[in-house]
Structure 1
Amino acid sequence: MSYEQLAYVYDQLMADAPYDSWIEFLCKEMDRFQAPGRRVLDLACGTGELSIRLLKQGFEVTGVDMSEDMLAVAAEKAGEEGLSFPLFQQDMSQLDGLPSYDIVTIFCDSLNYLESSEAVKQTFSGIYRHLNPNGLLLFDVHSTYQMDHVFLDQTFTWNEDKIAYIWNSFQGEEPYSIEHDLTFFVLDENSGQYNRIEEFHKQRTYSVHDIEHWLVTAGFDVLSITADFTGESPEATSQRIFFTCRKK
Structure 2
Amino acid sequence: MTYERFAYLYDELMKDVPYEQWVRIVNDSCQKYNISGKKLLDLACGTGELSLRLQKHGYTVTGVDLSADMLTVAQAKAADEGLAIDFFQQNMVELDLLTKYDVIGVFCDSLNYLQTEEEVKQTFRQIKQFLKEDGLLIFDVHSLYKINEIFLNETFTYDDGGICYIWNCFAGEYPGSVEHELTFFVEESSGKYERIDENHTQRSFALETYEQWLIEAGFTVLEKIGDFAGKPQANSERVFFVVAHKL
User: What is the TM-score with the length of structure 1 in the denominator?
Assistant: 0.97
Contact 1:36 1:134 in 2 (8 A): no
Report the Cα distance in structure 1 between the residues aligned to 2:196 and 2:35, rounded to whole angstroms: 41
Instruction: State the secondary structure of the residue aligned to 1:52.
Output: helix
User: What is the TM-score with the length of structure 2 in the denominator?
Assistant: 0.98
State the shift of 1:237 in Å. Answer: 1.0
Amino acid corresponding to residue 237 of structure 1 in structure 2:
N
Report the Cα distance in structure 2 between the residues aligned to 1:83 and 1:33, rounded to whole angstroms: 27
Q: Percent identity?
A: 52
Report the Cα distance in structure 1 between the residues aligned to 2:22 and 2:73, rounded to whole angstroms: 21
Match of 1:56 in 2: 56
Report the Cα distance in structure 2 between the residues aligned to 1:27 and 1:47, rounded to whole angstroms: 21
Task: Choose from 230, 233, 236 the match for 2:234.
Answer: 236
Amino acid corresponding to residue 241 of structure 2 in structure 1:
F
State the shift of 1:99 in Å. Answer: 1.1
Runs of 4+ in 1 over 6 A off after TM superposition: none
Report the Cα distance in structure 2 between the residues aligned to 1:97 and 1:80, rounded to whole angstroms: 26
Match of 1:83 in 2: 83
Q: Give yes or no for the alignment of 1:166 onto 2:166.
A: yes
State the shift of 1:36 in Å. Answer: 4.2
Contact 1:104 1:127 in 2 (8 A): yes
State the shift of 1:242 in Å. Answer: 0.7
Q: Give yes or no for the alignment of 1:114 onto 2:118.
A: no
Superposed CA RMSD: 0.8
Match of 1:219 in 2: 218
Contact 2:165 2:185 in 1 (8 A): yes
Report the Cα distance in structure 1 between the residues aligned to 2:181 and 2:231, rounded to whole angstroms: 32
5+ residue gaps, structure 2: none
Report the Cα distance in structure 1 between the residues aligned to 2:215 and 2:20, rounded to whole angstroms: 29
Report the Cα distance in structure 1 between the residues aligned to 2:184 and 2:2, rounded to whole angstroms: 14
Match of 1:206 in 2: 205
5+ residue gaps, structure 1: none
Contact 1:49 1:74 in 2 (8 A): yes
- CA shift digits 1:118-139 (9 cap, x unpaired): 0000110111000111100000
Contact 2:97 2:130 in 1 (8 A): no
Match of 1:17 in 2: 17
Amino acid corresponding to residue 222 of structure 1 in structure 2:
V
Amino acid corresponding to residue 15 of structure 2 in structure 1:
A
Report the Cα distance in structure 1 between the residues aligned to 2:98 and 2:147, rounded to whole angstroms: 33
Q: Give yes or no for the alignment of 1:245 onto 2:246.
A: no
Report the Cα distance in structure 1 between the residues aligned to 2:61 and 2:159, rounded to whole angstroms: 34
- Worse overlay, 72-81 or 30-39: 30-39
Amino acid corresponding to residue 31 of structure 1 in structure 2:
Q
Match of 1:47 in 2: 47
Instruction: State the secondary structure of the residue aligned to 2:215.
Output: helix
Instruction: State the secondary structure of the residue aligned to 1:178.
Output: strand
Report the Cα distance in structure 1 between the residues aligned to 2:119 and 2:39, rounded to whole angstroms: 25
Q: Give yes or no for the alignment of 1:99 onto 2:103.
A: no
Q: Aligned residues, how many?
A: 246
State the shift of 1:83 in Å. Answer: 1.5
Report the Cα distance in structure 1 between the residues aligned to 2:40 and 2:97, rounded to whole angstroms: 16
Judged with a 3 Å threshold, the aligned counterparts in structure 2 of structure 1 residues 125 and 27 are, in CA distance, closer, same or farther, namely same
